[in-house]
Structure 1
Amino acid sequence: MSEHELEQENQNIEEVQEPEQGESLFICTANRDFAAYAQEELRRLFGSVKSSVLSDREVLLVKLNVSEQNAIQQISDSRPIFLRHIQPVQFEREGENAGELLAEAASFILSSKVMGAGVKVALQVRKSADAGEESSSQLKEWLEELLRASEAEFVTASADWIASVYLTDSAIYAGISRPEDNLSDWSGGAVRFRREEGQLSRAKFKLLEAEREFGLDLSAYRSAVDIGAAPGGWTSLLLERGLKVTAIDPAKLHPSLLKSPNLTYIRKNASEVKFKDNEFDLLVCDMSWSPKLMVQLVSGLLHGLSPGGTAIVTIKLMHKKPMALIKEVIASFENSRLQVQRAKQLFHNREEITLYMIKY
């Protein structure tokens, strides 16, 4: 989105007031510079949406004209592309002293009746850039100490409940929810993977996140083709999962991959390659090319993907109207016998989204 478009969109964001009965308040998060598109997804669901910006181009405070549970259900069912994470706001206080605000938020959490011995609780604390010098991790430590008397078990995964806190320079917002109600059980939907020694590229994280987000098991596939594979981030993950991989790219793959007995490396443009029918059960593509050209290349190789096979493809949003572009790309793929299961801007996507598709 251009600077001019963002300014226009921000002018449409109205200041949020305390929710009334039948309304609900949420902190909504998208990838940086894509919050306006997440807001548009909410508008299409709920009509009237009032928002204010908590963090530049990324985090919004949103008031919806339906109850909290109704909103959560509708958002979850809609499977938004750009809206990455939501957390309900059931407690709000204005102020500038972080310690005092955290103490008040802790009192709210303790009074919620979900805290208790044996209950697994994930504390997720975030802050805006202008919210004091303390880091989010320091604030989380303070909050955990304030809640220790509850005897709840504080965990980072497999929680029964998530207690979410967001601190700005002038207010604090808190809410308690089930992990499945936040779109992502990661704080702010920021899915983190540990960088491994010798990892070829951060692109590997995109495929790891896609596997998690779409409920896939890459090791369950037999044979994959990676279009535009160099330097080999996605190919390396597929080889690690035990697949036979055909990597296509005129550029060089990393030398560490070339020794793998399960790798076939075709150093050509994808448009110059032909395969036997139904040769693969997985097709992946993460090329930094125009969406139109990417669709042409992938469609030209789909005869090699067996019916029922999976395709995971990224779309670069090189367009001023990404929603229209996404609709156009999806229509093109569906005309090529690919049925789109999910379209999502993952945390590790930048100016792109990821499609998960099945060939029929």
Structure 2
Amino acid sequence: MSQWIGTANKSYASYAMEELRRQFESISITQLSPGEAFLFEVPLEQEAVLASIKAEQPIFLRHLQPVDVVRSISADADDLDWLSDWIRLSRGKLEGKRAGVHVRKAEGSPYPYSAADTKAVAAAMLEQCGAEPEQKHPEILVAVYASRDTLYAGIGTPAEMLSDWPGGAVRFQKEEGQISRAKFKLLEAEREFGLDYASFRNAVDIGAAPGGWTSLLLERGLRVTAIDPAELHPSLLAYRTLTVLRKNAAEVSFQPGAFDLLVCDMSWSPMQMTKLVLDLVPALQQGGTAIVTVKLMHRKPLQTIREVKSRLSAAFDILGARQLFHNREEMTLYLKKK
């Protein structure tokens, strides 16, 4: 038996729960933060749950925190004393490792301490345990979640928790002159799927305007062909490595194998997007990569995703399917041409 806290994007927790119900028999689920975080229990040990999640990672499960210990919140210094004692008893998991601390509080939680205060106490105890407090590149994470009545704490690696950010909320710093927040989606996809855009040479961006994704690829040194009847941001036109086609994507054609990367973040229906991408498959090199977002416009997103994946699988191996933190009413696919 093991307990976990799952986190999804706002309003998408029900779909993460549905995926987990299909994956684990006899699962029980309790909401902690409506539409976002939930507690679930399965009749399996932690190792078996982690193996199952690794083999078939749910699309909408953004973060997974193991629950090793639980305490009713007393809303005083006893809460911190309990946390310190638990970390001390966990020395065997922490000693000699770079350890980070994640602290989250549900809205309305009576837990009186800030994340910074809790981290300071935990970091002091980590040092006593022979661990090195480290937030940027931790090997192991101490995660604490304060609900409206209970403290939940657990230890795991960033890979096991599906992210090295608290709750999987990946943050990027907005740059001066940044064209759009859509750039963050492509940055997060690179991070999530273990890509390096600088390793590609020629990209095509379908539905490029105003140019958030195009700007990132240009900055990484790629030659980019941007397709969109709308205008790109004027700042991009200075790039000699940019080709702009002011057309609908359905109206263009290219030499076979012209690109090794295809990206698409169009606000079209999922089936229209799928058809456009499939029509451009010949222009992608054998083994070429595609990153596309699927807009979840309907009430049955899991069914929509299954249909899109089924159609795309005729031409692509589907290597990743995730709703990223920076996705809103959408999710992201990582594809490789067969």
**TM-score, normalization: structure 1?**
0.89
Do the aligned partners of 2:62 and 2:325 also contact (CA within 8 Å) in 1? yes
Q: 1:56 aligns with which of 21, 24, 34?
A: 34
- Match for residue 152 of structure 1? 131
Matched, 1:210 2:189: yes
Matched, 1:162 2:177: no
Deviation at 1:97, TM superposition (A): 0.5
- Match for residue 99 of structure 1? 77
Deviation at 1:131, TM superposition (A): 1.5
What is the DSSP-based 3-state SS (H/G/I as helix, E as strand, rest coil) of the residue aligned with 2:92?
coil
Letter in 2 for 1:253: L
Deviation at 1:160, TM superposition (A): 2.8
Q: 2:247 aligns with which of 243, 265, 268?
A: 268
Deviations 1:64-123 (A, max 9, x none): 110111111111211221111111111101124053223212211111123766432101
Please show how residues 1-360 of structure 1 align to structure 2 within 5 Å.
Answer: 23-97=1-75, 99-114=77-92, 118-132=96-110, 134-145=113-124, 147=126, 149-335=128-314, 337-360=315-338
- Match for residue 9 of structure 1? none
Deviations 1:313-350 (A, max 9, x none): 00000111111110101111123x12211111111111
Gaps of 5+ in 1: 1-22
Distance 1:208 1:138 in 2: 31
Equivalent pairs counted in the alignment come to 337
Deviation at 1:179, TM superposition (A): 2.5
Letter in 1 for 2:8: A
Deviations 1:258-313 (A, max 9, x none): 01000001111111111111111100000111111111222222221111111100
Deviation at 1:359, TM superposition (A): 1.1
Do the aligned partners of 1:96 and 1:169 also contact (CA within 8 Å) in 2? no
Distance 1:245 1:305 in 2: 13
Distance 2:95 2:257 in 1: 55
Deviations 1:165-197 (A, max 9, x none): 011231101111222211222211111111111
Tell me the percent identity. Answer: 50
Deviation at 1:138, TM superposition (A): 3.8
Do the aligned partners of 2:94 and 2:126 also contact (CA within 8 Å) in 1? no
Distance 2:87 2:117 in 1: 18
What is the DSSP-based 3-state SS (H/G/I as helix, E as strand, rest coil) of the residue aligned with 2:71?
strand
Deviations 1:219-264 (A, max 9, x none): 1111000000011110001001110000011111010000100000
Do the aligned partners of 1:109 and 1:115 also contact (CA within 8 Å) in 2? no
- Match for residue 12 of structure 1? none
Distance 1:317 1:300 in 2: 21
Distance 1:29 1:114 in 2: 27
Deviation at 1:210, TM superposition (A): 0.6
Deviations 1:141-171 (A, max 9, x none): 3443555544532111332321110112311
> For the structure 1 residues 301 and 117, does the alpha-carbon distance in structure 2 shift closer, same or farther, using more than 3 Å as the test?
closer
Distance 2:94 2:186 in 1: 38
What root-mean-square deviation, in Å, do the aligned CA atoms of Structure 1 and Structure 2 show? 1.7
Letter in 2 for 1:340: I
Distance 2:337 2:12 in 1: 30
Distance 1:338 1:117 in 2: 44
What is the DSSP-based 3-state SS (H/G/I as helix, E as strand, rest coil) of the residue aligned with 2:238?
coil
Distance 1:100 1:160 in 2: 28
Letter in 2 for 1:169: R
